[in-house]
Amino acid sequence: MHLLDAVQAPEHWRTVDFVSDLHLHASEPATFEAWRGYLSSTCCDALFILGDLFEVWVGDDVLDASTDIAAFPLACVKALAATTSRFPVYFMAGNRDFLVGEELLGRTGLQGLSDPTVLTLGVERWLLSHGDALCLDDIDYQRFRREVRTEAWRSGFLARPLSERLAVARQLRRNSDMHKATQTKWADVDKPAAAHLLAQHRAQHMVHGHTHQPATHPLGTQSTRMVLSDWDANSAPPRTEVLRWKANSGTAPCTAFRVSIKSASDA
């Protein structure tokens, strides 16, 4: 599967949105509806989805499964296809949906990205990542990540019956929910590793998700690391945040700011 590792923003892009960690799942209809409403109303010229769009993705063949299994994925496909007919939407796999393949990309019109990807916006280079590969202190996860990202593991898992893969996904989700309930300290991106990656790609800014700790951090004197929020429309208050970049006229610097999707259409 060919994935882009660099994107040059055309001059007519004046607004670019970034989201991640929506964790879309049939059991969370409020978050799905918030996301679908955002897609239909956003004023952006391009959208970058930086991983974990889905809570879990066990293979593109779910799209051709029985009605009860395929209904929710197909609703997601419909919303994405309607959006990509209006403006480009880029997708980078996360730790929950790294099994997304050509079939889903083709049906939705999503443009796949490698991790990391350099996005050139005007005169600035932005480094985009899901962020999980930089959480170096999470040793168990890094070991797991190395195993499941191999072609041998991927091919072996996808060769298993869909029913088995869905059962594995259900168990992983239960384990994840239990982990969240007892977790007191969350893994974060290793700052020296992030700074090194930024310098390696000659970029000024980094945007990533995964950690569910939205904030903007300085990296050196002139660089920043912007962390995207996860989405949960049922939380209080709801978490449905977009990071939005806007090009300014004249010599004014470009700006990036956070916006709730409640005001995303007129921000």
pTM over 0.95: no
Q: Answer yes or no: is pLDDT of 73 > 50.
A: yes
| Cα separations in angstroms, 204 against 150, 190, 198, 216, 242 | 31, 17, 7, 13, 20
What pLDDT, on the 0 to 100 scale, is given for residue 222?
A: 82
Residue 168 covered by a domain: yes
What pLDDT, on the 0 to 100 scale, is given for residue 206?
A: 96
Q: Answer yes or no: is pLDDT of 184 > 80.
A: no
- Structurally, the chain folds into a number of domains equal to 1
Which pLDDT band holds residue 181 (cuts at 50, 70, 90)?
A: low
What pLDDT, on the 0 to 100 scale, is given for residue 221?
A: 78
Residue 265 covered by a domain: no
CATH of residue 226's domain is 3.60.21.10
Q: Answer yes or no: is pLDDT of 80 > 50.
A: yes
Element (H, E) at 48: strand 46-50
Residue 84 covered by a domain: yes
Residue 99 covered by a domain: yes
Residue 266 covered by a domain: no
Which pLDDT band holds residue 228 (cuts at 50, 70, 90)?
A: very high
Beta bridge partners of 18: 48, 243
Structural domain containing residue 173: 4-260
Residue 186 covered by a domain: yes
Residue 267 covered by a domain: no
